Structure 1
Amino acid sequence: MDTRERLIESARELLWERGYVGTSPKAIQERSGAGQGSMYHHFHGKPDLALAAISRSAEELRERAEVQFSGPGPVVDRITAYLRRERDVLKGCPVGRLTQDPDVMSDPDLRRPVAETFAWLTDRLATLLAEGRANGELDARLDPAATAGALVAVLQGGYVLARAAGSPEAFAQAVDGAVGLLAGHVRRGGE
């Protein structure tokens, strides 16, 4: 991994662990093993590096989600695979946690990849749900956009509940509830 990549990965980890204010240039340099000159050679400063790190986290979230979304099988199975995939629940969502960081949310450039990622995720889920409704897999009364928003909210809320409880069980329970609600809209046979 070259110096630029080490800096981005170190910033990603620190932003996830400590937030923007707690992620100092010195901490990034120490974790990455890069010197100050290297950091400022590749980035114009902390905001520039943070943007690269946040963008990378957002891109990775989208790529990982797309693996399940574009896989084989019925829509509900693909969405369930996404909801139940392995996550480091007690650390929280690396993108979702940034919404609680006032320094990230008050900076339009840093907020943009966060907002775009959640918009993409909600739209992607809505598209899948609409596909399931159109192909007869899901009840025609299901509202794809509202259901997609609820699924994203359950995931993010599940992280919060798990962190508050200090147990991944709270996240698993939230996901199980969402999967159960979604299963209630699956059309069976000639229904």
Structure 2
Amino acid sequence: MYSGYMSTPERLIEATRELLWERGYVGTSPKAIQQAAEAGQGSMYHHFAGKPDLALAAIRRTAEELGAAAEAVLSGGGTAYARIEAYLLRERDVLRGCPVGRLTMDPDVIADPVLRAPVDEALGRLRARLAEVVQEGLDNGELSDSLDADDIAATVVATVQGGYVLARANGSRAPFDSAVRGLLSLLAPRTAVS
């Protein structure tokens, strides 16, 4: 399933990431991880103290990738609105949902402060970065000065995460796309009146 060039710890982390996204923490057994990674029990426990340790490495990796993907779009060129629009419209597997957002629905992850921390930190960094971009738009007069950067950042994250839920419930990406279009229309830059 994974590249022959990938080390055993890497295969274990990647398999765990995929299984956490598909099945959640409880549904991700050590045996399933070992099978997916094509690694033996001894290899798994040689590299990781146990399922919680491996899950933490997988969650951290997933959180880092979420942050890097968002940063790549939000630090790109263009206006603040264009960068927010690019973030909202970037390619996503909408019907699978967000691999980080999925973890917020997992009671075992949320109940464990160590496993929850990278999830909370990733979403917090995303909100903070979005708030910076919104603030740029406010500072240069592009966005309505009635907006609050932190509130809009939270709204963008909520729209994406809520859009995933609606799309999955509907079995169609249409609710996600509708939510994104609605938010973008609300954020549309002010135009000069002649």
Indicate the TM-score class for this superposition, using the shorter chain for normalisation.
Answer: over 0.9
Find 2:178's aligned residue among 163, 170, 173. Answer: 173
Distance (Å, rounded) in 2 between the aligned partners of 1:44 and 1:150: 38
Find 2:51's aligned residue among 30, 36, 46. Answer: 46
Can you list the C-alpha shifts for 1:59-99, whole angstroms capped at 9, x where unaligned? 00000001110000001001100101111111110000111
Partner secondary structure for residue 91 of structure 1 = coil
1:159 is the counterpart of 2:159: no
* Partner residue, 1:189: 192
Distance (Å, rounded) in 1 between the aligned partners of 2:184 and 2:7: 42
Partner secondary structure for residue 139 of structure 1 = coil
Partner secondary structure for residue 56 of structure 1 = helix
Q: CA deviation at 1:189?
A: 3.3
* Partner residue, 1:142: 147
Find 2:36's aligned residue among 31, 34, 46. Answer: 31
Structure 1 unpaired stretches of 5+: none
Q: Which consecutive aligned stretches of 4+ in structure 1 deviate over 6 angstroms post-superposition?
A: none
1:3 is the counterpart of 2:8: yes
Distance (Å, rounded) in 2 between the aligned partners of 1:92 and 1:16: 9
Farther off after superposition, 68-77 or 133-142:
133-142
AA partner of residue 187 (structure 1) = R
Distance (Å, rounded) in 2 between the aligned partners of 1:131 and 1:190: 22
Distance (Å, rounded) in 1 between the aligned partners of 2:174 and 2:193: 36
Find 2:71's aligned residue among 66, 80, 85. Answer: 66
Q: Percent identity?
A: 63
Partner secondary structure for residue 158 of structure 2 = helix
1:104 is the counterpart of 2:109: yes
Count residues with an aligned counterpart. Answer: 189
Query: Over aligned residues, Cα RMSD in angstroms?
Result: 1.1
Find 2:91's aligned residue among 77, 86, 90. Answer: 86
Find 1:13's aligned residue among 7, 11, 18. Answer: 18
